[in-house]
Amino acid sequence: MESELKNLAVMLFDVGAIKFGEFITKVGLKTPVYIDLRVIISYPKLLNQISNILWKLADDVDKIDQICGVPYTALPIATLISVDSNIPMLIRRKEAKSYGTKKLIEGKFAAGDNTVIIEDVVTSGSSILETVKDLKQESLNVTAALVIMDREQGGRKNIEDSGIKMKSLYTMTKLMEYLQEAGKVTQDTVDGVLKYLAECLAPVKTLEKEGNDRLKMDFLSRSKLAKSQIAAKLLQLMDMKETTLCLAADLTKADEIVDLVKLAGPHIAVLKIHVDIIEDFNQDFINQLKNLSEKHKFLIMEDRKFGDIGNTVSLQYSKGVYKIAEWADLITVHPVAGPGILDGLKNALKNITDERGIFLITEMSSKGALTTGDYTKQTLTMAETSDLVVGHVCQSNIFLNPGLVQLTPGVKISKASDDLGQQYNTPEAVVNSGADLAVVGRGITEAADKLREVINYKNQLWTAYKNRIN
């Protein structure tokens, strides 16, 4: 195989895939040598040759169920390997698409499938580790990473420290040896590259440790990692009551809500209301809810979806008819106005002594929702900067922090949708997608036997959670 690698090294040099000069790598390092394998798509025979040689590194081919190329350079290489080996291929998107299925991993696969990752160049190993994380979130088993070039700057160690076996066709040292032997580079060039490698390691990257996997940890353990005091309280409450049910009492009469809460209170973790749709709102109604919440140990959430500038939301939260800050343990917030909205809400709490928290609306369950892409990413960043944030309202496992709570709406025992674009998922489906707290509304409020349905949802959701962490 060494003879093939020597010839291949020369061919890569001749087509301009190996460049010398002054460059910046993906991880921000200056480098005197740059490997640009994107050019090989213009040379089909070379592309096919490099794919064939790379696949020779694979172990136990008959035990490999899937091949996944890291976008984008490795995708055509992975495609050729898939075609030649007749092993299915997966595509990992750089971000989930904002329409259709919104999948991050494309292809047909089953939980537990053994997957081999194909990559062109490894510096820090971050691209492979990000791909591993996304594949593991789909319950795929990553067995190895096959790489064309190991730049010898720490990437192999980062990958193998994360439990992933890595094999490469070349190390930078061996590539330089082959090119010098072929008369393509001088001794000074070789010495310069080797000196650079000895002095410059890429930043360390590792996967989240298994013990800090949010979906595998129990609520009590996670409560100790929460920055928000009320997030810790909520996680402890769910553990104590053995419930992840958030009841959406989207009713318009105060007495109807109170009567429902008297039934459901012992079985729920959170009561969610829309105070501005209650036609006969009064302070006595709030007092009754607070008494019931203390008696049955649940939190009250006002699903206000604040979304204005800081000064306005501060007034909306603390003033007016409803004085939400005085009684709502939790509120929901659209982060569209930016970080200033968090400052405004915090300002409204300066005279409130009880713990308060907010859920950021990071994704929505309605068809065609615009909460995707960079909007979602920036919302995740906002959550890490404030001790007010309890968690995210979202549809999928899009964050790692085990001290935050995923609140997922749109839950029904039978998956369906309504005439207004609301999409529903089953209890098991939302829990497996990361939900810690699941919102159930019409599945309970429109039921003939409401208490029976409350208990039914509670039990199904809790069983799904226990199965998830086990």
CA distances from 448 to 374, 444, 445 (A): 43, 9, 8
Name the 3-class secondary structure at 103. coil
In sequence order, the 6+-apart residues with CB closer than 8 A to the CB of 468 are 215, 216, 431, 432
CA torsion sign for 424, 427, 433, 439 is: positive
Query: Of 95, 84, 90, 43, which Cα lies nearest the Cα of 61?
Result: 84
List the one residue out of 120, 129, 139 whose CA is nearest residue 73.
120
When computed from its CA atoms, the radius of gyration of the chain, rounded to whole angstroms, is 27
Q: Is 366 annotated as a binding residue?
A: no
CA 49 from chain center: how many Å?
36
Q: Is 272 annotated as a binding residue?
A: yes
Residue 67: how many CB atoms within 10 A of its CB? 23
Instruction: Report DSSP letters for 220-270, one per residue.
Output: HHHHTT-SSHHHHHHHHHHHHHT--EEEE---S-HHHHHHHHHHHGGG-SE
**180 among annotated binding-site residues:** no
Q: How far is CA 199 from the centre of its chain?
A: 35
Active-site residue set: 303, 305, 308
Q: Is 113 a known ligand-binding residue?
A: no
CB contact at 8 A, 175 and 150: no
Does the annotation flag 316 for ligand binding? no
Establish whether 236 is an annotated binding residue. Answer: no
Enumerate the known binding-site residues for substrate.
Answer: 250, 272, 365, 422, 441-442
